[in-house]
Amino acid sequence: MSLRPGSLVLYKNRPARVVAVTDKIDLDVGEGKAKRVRDKDVVPLHPGPCQSLGELRPLAGDLREAWELAAGERLSLAELAGLVYGEFTPATAWATWQAVADGVYFAGEPDALCARSGADVDAILAERDAKARAEREWRELLERVDGGHIEPGDRVRLAEVERLALGRSAASRILQALGRQETPENAWRLLVACGYWDRFHNPWPAREGAPLVCADLPVPDLPDEDRLDLTHLPAYAIDDEGNQDPDDALSLDGDWLWVHVADVAALVAPDGELDREARSRGANLYLPEGVVHMLPPPLTHRLGLGLEQVSPALSFGCRLDDDGGLAEFRIAPSWVRVARLSYETADGRLGEPPFAAMAELTARYRAWRAARGATGIDLPEVSVKVIDGRVVVRPLPRLASRDLVTDAMLMAGEAAARWALANGVALPFATQAPPDERRTPVDLAGMYAYRRFFKPSQTKGAPEPHAGLGLAAYVRATSPLRRYQDLLAHQQIRTALRGGTPLPAGGLAERYGVADAAGVLVRRAERLSNQHWKLAYLQQNPQWEGEAVVVDADERKATVILPALAFETRLRLQAGMAPNQRLRLRVREVDLVESAAYFRTLD
């Protein structure tokens, strides 16, 4: 088709009218705009005359009927316009081309159009229906999410928001579509607002990469081996009420104090599947809402002291000298018969045998350690539990029975370290450099300040002093059900006792290095989770008020501790605030997402 003034052409997929033809083509592209283009820039649609682009008004026509008539033939735009509209004019040419450009029934150029096959048309229509349905469902999803009323099927789509909330991705199409900044905090708020997460959902273990389910592996049978029979000695597992993994117990035999520890290494062989699983986790994850075990729960049920009538143990015998230091020690696999007691119950029996004698021994050992620099930081502690959706916060009082158990465990840890040195066995020694400054704090503010001087403990393959405990050598060895480092120590000890070859220090370091790194995640998840549930407790008790103690202050803010919650927060500094001053506070606002609570001071 030759071009002349008045011809209708296609220019950049839009209609244009030829105004003049010289070495180039002058076009009227509508809206009072003109273009000068090359002939190859346009596609002829109709020879004209087209007086104005205003002639190109929408027309009603049935392209599908024309497609059925064409039945796979090739035809021109003029022929197709004749089938659809009965005439070929600039207006019908443009209307026909628009229908063709839709791409369902025909393909090709204006001078060579081809009717698509029935299968192709069906496929295109099905694809468009699916796309339209998906777009409709997407709009409906956004409306439900924004309105806070999601349906069960929406949870799959909202997983992308959860990934952002947990720090596993940096983007969310849903947040973007709703016009909200794509941050973990905004994702968290949206998930709660729409009901995907419960109001008090704790995301911290997942955000920190801690394990979320218990280990689930087969547990072998206990091997048949010689054990020291200590079942004639009354043994007591003293722990918090409701504890489900008792892994240590105490008994007295004359002037020997026995610390019995669950013999986990009897079932968890070095570098076996159970061992590798526990190593990758580092420790049990203790959350207010439950425990995630590093070892399969059936193993705990089988080995926990006092859960069966007779329990297998690795027992550490300790005898003190006249000064209260460790004079003799012995380690042996054993059978023990254990009764379980709470700290509160044991505290009430410290005046009767054998608890009175145990308390006297451990008090002497405590004094001996104190003379060698052992220092304790006595800050408030609480137990936080979630029971049927309600948060229960219970202060942990300072009980003499807790001190008794703590010092007995330290005694066993020193015995393990000295046994290792005497027998040339590598163990994961727990060490701590001395603080930069020695103090003897007597009040809460002093304790808070002194804590900053303490160095973090480290695990090493060779013994070094543990300044905080006042010990020249120490090994964590009394919690193998709960902590991999203790299990590793037991494996080394058992191997040596059975005449095997324990790991050298280098091989040992590879294993406790993995476990220590995992343990960092576990401890952080525990700390953040406890903070989360304390805040949830305040939300559940919006009228809460209680005592706070000032422990630090700068020019603008005072740091206070709420002893009843073991909770630390900052307040605007007011006249007269000084360390150890006691205030009365009432909760004003709680923001779980920001991990913050705000209080007002009561007169």
> How do residues 417-446 score in pLDDT, each as one tens digit?
999 999 999 999 999 999 888 878 889 999
> Pseudo-torsion of CA 89, 95, 98, 103, nearest 10°?
-100
Token pair in block for residue 138: 């997407």
**DSSP structural state of residue 579:** T
**CA–CA distance, 48 with 17 (Å, rounded to integer):** 9
pLDDT tops 90 at residue 87: yes
Token pair in block for residue 1: 């088709």
Query: Which of 283, 202, 287, 245 minimizes the C-alpha distance to 521?
Result: 283
CATH match of 541-602 with 2.40.50.140: yes
pLDDT tops 80 at residue 489: yes
Average per-residue pLDDT in the chain? 94
pLDDT category of residue 96 using cuts at 50, 70 and 90: very high
Helix (H) or strand (E) holding 522: helix 505-540
> How do residues 33-53 score in pLDDT, each as one tens digit?
999 999 999 999 999 999 999
Question: How many whole angstroms from its chain centre is CA 195?
Answer: 19
Of the listed ranges 221-225, 241-245, 321-325, the least confidently predicted one is 241-245
> How do residues 262-317 score in pLDDT, each as one tens digit?
999 999 999 999 999 999 999 999 999 999 999 999 999 999 999 999 999 999 99
- Average pLDDT on 354-376 reads 95
pLDDT tops 90 at residue 320: yes
pLDDT tops 80 at residue 517: yes
pLDDT category of residue 243 using cuts at 50, 70 and 90: confident
pLDDT tops 90 at residue 508: yes
% of the chain with per-residue pLDDT over 70: 100
pLDDT of residue 262: 98
Neighbouring C-beta atoms of residue 340, cutoff 10 Å: 16
Alpha carbon distance, N-terminus to C-terminus of the chain: 94
Question: 106-109 and 74-75: which strand pairing?
Answer: unpaired
pLDDT tops 90 at residue 2: no
Neighbouring C-beta atoms of residue 301, cutoff 10 Å: 13
> How do residues 537-559 score in pLDDT, each as one tens digit?
999 999 999 999 999 988 889 99
> How do residues 157-206 score in pLDDT, each as one tens digit?
999 999 999 999 999 999 999 999 999 999 999 999 999 999 999 999 99
For 341-363, b where at least 16 C-beta lie within 10 A, e where not — what string? bbbeebbebeeeebbeebbebbe
Q: Which CATH number fits the domain 130-197, given the four candidates 2.60.34.10, 1.20.140.10, 1.10.1040.10, 1.10.10.10?
A: 1.10.10.10
Query: Which of 20, 16, 79 minimizes the C-alpha distance to 44?
Result: 16
CATH of domain 1-47: 2.30.30
pLDDT of residue 14: 94
211-217 long-range contacts, CB within 8 A, separation 24+: 211/281, 211/285, 211/292, 211/294, 212/292, 213/292, 214/291, 214/292, 214/293, 214/296, 214/297, 215/274, 215/277, 215/278, 215/281, 215/293, 215/294, 215/295, 215/296, 216/296, 217/273, 217/274, 217/277, 217/296
**CA–CA distance, 275 with 74 (Å, rounded to integer):** 74
**CA–CA distance, 158 with 191 (Å, rounded to integer):** 8
pLDDT of residue 131: 95
